[in-house]
Amino acid sequence: MLLLVYGFTVYSIFLLIRVGELHDLHSYEALALSLVGPFSKKLSSILIVTFCWGVAVMYVVVMGDFIKPLLTARHLHRYVGRRLGMILFWTCVMGPLSLLRQVNSLQYASIVGSAATLLLAAALVLHTINSNPTLHHIPLVRWDSNSLGSLSTFVFSYCCQPVAFSIYSEMKDASVRRMSLCAGISMLTCTVLYVVTGFFGVAAFGDETKPNVLSNFADHLDKPYVQLAFFGMAITVTMAFPITIFPTRESVVLALGYTEESPAPPLLSSGIGGVLAFLALLTSLFVPNIRVLFDILGGVCGGSLSFLLPGLFAIRSELWTRERVGLTHVVGAWATFILGVGICALGTYNSFYTNVIAGSA
C-alpha cells in the first residue's frame, strides 16, 4: 500500500508539471481555473487552505503528545495537565512565531525536520535492538479497518503536490523529466524512512504502537537517544508550525483584496496569522489524537489534492490525447483520478466510522 501511494505520488507530480507545460500554466489554481472552471479553482484553494491549517492543528496536537510525558517525568502532571501545557507552550513559543511576517528566519526548518526524522528512526532501531523483541507475533499481512485507515495516513505523509509548481519554478535547468526524477528520489527517501520507522516501531511495541510513536517512548525518557529524538521532533514541530500558518494567512489576505503590489498592513497580516494560530490551538484542544486528523486531511484533502484533481486536470486537457502523450499516460491519468475518488470516499467513511460509530459503541 505504501509503494502504491509512493508510485502515484510521483506520477501525479509528473501529471501536474506536464499538463502545466502543455498549457503554459504554472500554478495549481491556474490549472484548476483553466481546465475545469471557477468552481474548481475555489475548491482547490479551499482544500489547500484547509490542508495547511489542518496540519497546523496537528502540530499542536503532536506537541501535546510531547509535553505530557515530559510533565510526568518531572512530576508536574498533578499541577499542569496536557491541555494546560499545550496552552502555555503555544502562548510562549508557537503563537509568537506565527506573528512573523517573513519565513526567512525559518528557512532551515526542512533540514532540521529531516535530521529529526533520522534521529527518530535511529532511536527506534536502537530501542528495538536493546529490547530484543520476539518477532513471531507480528503478522506479515493485515487487512482490516486499521489497515484501510492507514491509507489516509500514507496519503497525508506524501502530499506535496500543491507546492510542486513552486519547486519547479526555482529548479535549475527545470524540465518535466528533471522534476519527475527529483520527485522520485525525494519520495523514495521518505519511503525508506517510513518503512524503517514503521517496521522497527511495530517490532518494538507490537499492537501497542500508538498513532504518534513517540508516545510509546513516554516510559523510556531515561535513555539518551530517546531524549534526543524527543528534542529533535519538538524543535521540528515548533519550527514547522508557523510555516503552515503563513500560506493560510496569505490566502486570507488575498481573499480580502490585497496583492503583492498593494500588500496588507503589517499589523493586519500579523493579526490574521495570530487569529489562525489561535484557532488551531482551540481546535487541537478537542482532538483526541492525530489519527483523527490523518483520516480527514489525508483521506479528503490529500486524496483530492494528490490524485483526484491532478488526474482530472489531465483528463480535461484537450492536449492530453493518445496521439500526443501515448495510451499509457491517458490510462495513467484515469487511474490517478479513480484512485483519488476512492481515497476520498474511503477517508470520509473511515473518519466517520472511527470517530462517530466506533466511538459511540
Q: Which of 23-37, 43-57, 133-147, 172-186 has the lowest mean pLDDT?
A: 133-147
Q: Taking the CB of residue 37, how many other CB atoms lie within 10 A of it?
A: 12
**What is residue 132's three-state secondary structure?**
coil
**324 against 359, higher pLDDT:** 324
- pLDDT(39) > 60: yes
Rounded to an integer, the average pLDDT of 117-121 is 82
**What is residue 86's three-state secondary structure?**
helix
The residue range of the domain holding 67 is 2-360
Rounded to an integer, the average pLDDT of 88-106 is 78
- pLDDT(141) > 70: no
Give the C-alpha separation, 359 to 348, whole Å: 15
**What stretches of 206-326 show up as alpha helix (H) in DSSP?**
224-255, 266-284, 290-293, 303, 309-316, 322-325
Give the C-alpha separation, 174 to 107, whole Å: 22
Which three cell numbers, joined as nine digits, stand for 255? 481573499
Which three cell numbers, joined as nine digits, stand for 342? 476512492
As a dihedral over the C-alpha atoms of residue 188, residue 194, residue 197, residue 201, rounded to 10 degrees, the angle is -150
Rounded to an integer, the average pLDDT of 103-130 is 75
Q: Taking the CB of residue 225, how many other CB atoms lie within 10 A of it?
A: 18
pLDDT the model gives residue 14: 96
pLDDT the model gives residue 288: 65
- 201-206, long-range: CB < 8 A, 24+ apart: 201/124, 202/138, 203/128, 203/133, 203/135, 203/138, 204/124, 204/127, 204/128, 204/131, 204/133, 206/133, 206/137, 206/138
Residue 107's pLDDT band, with cuts at 50, 70 and 90, is: low
Q: Nearest 5°: phi and psi at 335?
A: -65, -40
- pLDDT(339) > 70: yes
Domain count, the chain: 1
Rounded to an integer, the average pLDDT of 313-324 is 93
> What percent of the chain has pLDDT above 90?
25
Q: Which of 139-153, 224-238, 268-282 has the lowest mean pLDDT?
A: 139-153
**145 against 121, higher pLDDT:** 121
Q: Measuring CA to CA, which residue among 247, 226, 221, 241 is closest to residue 97?
A: 241
Give the C-alpha separation, 119 to 117, whole Å: 5
- pLDDT(292) > 80: no
CATH number of 239's domain: 1.20.1740.10
Query: CA geometry: angle at 43 spanning 267 and 113, to 5°?
Result: 60
Whether the CB-CB separation of 79 and 277 falls below 8 Å is answered with no
pLDDT tens for 145-203 read: 566 667 888 888 898 888 888 888 888 888 999 999 999 999 999 899 888 888 888 77
Whether the CB-CB separation of 133 and 275 falls below 8 Å is answered with no
